[in-house]
Amino acid sequence: MSLFRYFAVLLGTTFVLHAGDTPRRIAYSQGIAVYVANLDGSGAKKIAEGASPSISPDGTRLAYNTQAEKTPERHIAVADVATGKITLLPGIPGNNSYGPIWSPDGSRLIFSTMVGHNWELAVIDADGTHYRVFEPKAKVGDALNSVAWLPDSQSFYAQDMNTLYHFALDGTVKDKRSLAKFIPRASFSSGQQFSVGSDGHTLLLDADMDENITRKNWEGPPPAIWTYDLSTEKAVRISPKGYFAWNPAWVSESEILCAVQPEKSREPSIYRLSIDGKKRELVVKNASNPTVSH
């Protein structure tokens, strides 16, 4: 083989190995700002003042809602991670929208918005077009929360604090289940975070537990993280009793990120946990609301 062909093959092989080798990123809240960082927490970069950060599946964009002390208004924004350029998504009526969540294919966002005097879910394309209020074809509670997309981006789960619904994008109810049967001695609120694993049937979630645990600098029930297999209806606790953890996000089938507030701490921090709950590693101190790119 000639020297020229050798280097051509070598360069071609290198390109194949690294094409699409995008480093995984996380997004999180810290104080009144939203950040992105590498999966291990290094290289942190402040994006803007805001809340409810959601990193896109490819890790190139950050969706969040604006939030400032000087105004009660909240709007959905998308930032380019590389350039820092921020775009307030056009086409969203009203002045109170929050909690954007990317579809797994990165084409859409679903979020909560105030319509009249009611909280509704709304869907919009990532470029700010095709906004519409989601209309479930079933009677639901006052509001739908904890949106968890299915891997195919064509349907999602959401809960109204009593029932878990599986919706198609046109509002059709594909399935519904009583949350009271999910986890013994657990309750759910609008703040719970749900997500579906890559297998399409393992639900990762947090719940408020009815457990007799008191802690200084903590109000309310202790939170815990569980998985729930939608096929077998089996629930498995990840965070042990007394280990206050919430806002879980999948890293892989065997690991998650979540917010944890240690017993003597006044603020939560982001930890990486193994699914069996045995491995616990600090990723970002004094931070919460983690999401992870694919």
Residues 200-210, mean pLDDT to the nearest whole number? 97
Measured between alpha carbons, how far is 159 from 189 in angstroms, rounded to an integer? 9
H helices within the chain, ranges in order? 3-18
Q: Are residues 121 and 201 in the same domain?
A: no
Q: Last residue of some domain: 97, 114, 134?
A: 134
Q: Are residues 187 and 294 in the same domain?
A: yes
**Is the per-residue pLDDT at 4 higher than 50?**
no
Q: How far is CA 80 from CA 51, 58, 64, 86, 224, in A?
A: 16, 12, 12, 7, 33
Q: Which domain holds residue 52?
A: 22-134
What confidence score (pLDDT) does residue 21 get?
Answer: 57
Domain membership flag for residue 168: no
Q: Last residue of some domain: 75, 100, 134?
A: 134
Q: What is the pTM of this model?
A: 0.90
Q: How far is CA 264 from CA 110, 187, 260, 270, in A?
A: 36, 25, 12, 15
Residue pair 227/255 in contact (Cβ under 8 Å)? The answer is: no
The backbone torsions φ and ψ at residue 5, rounded to the nearest 5 degrees and listed phi first, read -65, -35
What confidence score (pLDDT) does residue 293 get?
Answer: 98
Q: Are residues 33 and 109 in the same domain?
A: yes
Residues 9-34, mean pLDDT to the nearest whole number? 66
Q: What is the pLDDT of residues 245-285, one digit of tens each?
A: 999 999 999 999 999 998 888 899 999 999 998 899 999 99
- Split into its structural domains, the chain has a count of 2
Q: What is the pLDDT of residues 101-147, one digit of tens each?
A: 999 999 999 999 999 999 999 999 999 999 999 999 999 998 999 99
Q: Are residues 192 and 112 in the same domain?
A: no
Domain membership flag for residue 13: no
**Is the per-residue pLDDT at 26 higher than 60?**
yes
- For the chain, the average pLDDT equals 91
Domain membership flag for residue 139: no
Residues 6-18, mean pLDDT to the nearest whole number? 36
Domain membership flag for residue 167: no
Q: Are residues 212 and 287 in the same domain?
A: yes
Domain membership flag for residue 146: no
Q: Last residue of some domain: 104, 134, 164?
A: 134
What CATH number is attached to the domain comprising 85? 2.120.10.30
Q: Are residues 209 and 288 in the same domain?
A: yes
Q: What is the pLDDT of residues 37-72, one digit of tens each?
A: 999 999 999 999 999 999 999 999 999 999 877 788
Run of H or E including 203 = strand 202-209
**CB neighbour class for 265 (10 Å; exposed up to 12, middle 13-18, buried from 19):** middle
Q: Are residues 288 and 187 in the same domain?
A: yes
Residue pair 275/240 in contact (Cβ under 8 Å)? The answer is: no
Percent of the chain with pLDDT over 90: 83
Domain membership flag for residue 171: no
Q: Are residues 63 and 128 in the same domain?
A: yes
**Is the per-residue pLDDT at 16 higher than 80?**
no
Measured between alpha carbons, how far is 99 from 220 in angstroms, rounded to an integer? 22
Q: Are residues 129 and 203 in the same domain?
A: no
Query: What is the pLDDT confidence band of residue 83, given thresholds at 50, 70 and 90?
Result: very high
Q: Are residues 129 and 222 in the same domain?
A: no
Measured between alpha carbons, how far is 208 from 192 in angstroms, rounded to an integer? 9
Residues 11-19, mean pLDDT to the nearest whole number? 36
**Is the per-residue pLDDT at 7 higher than 80?**
no
| 3-class SS of residue 264 | coil
Measured between alpha carbons, how far is 220 from 229 in angstroms, rounded to an integer? 27
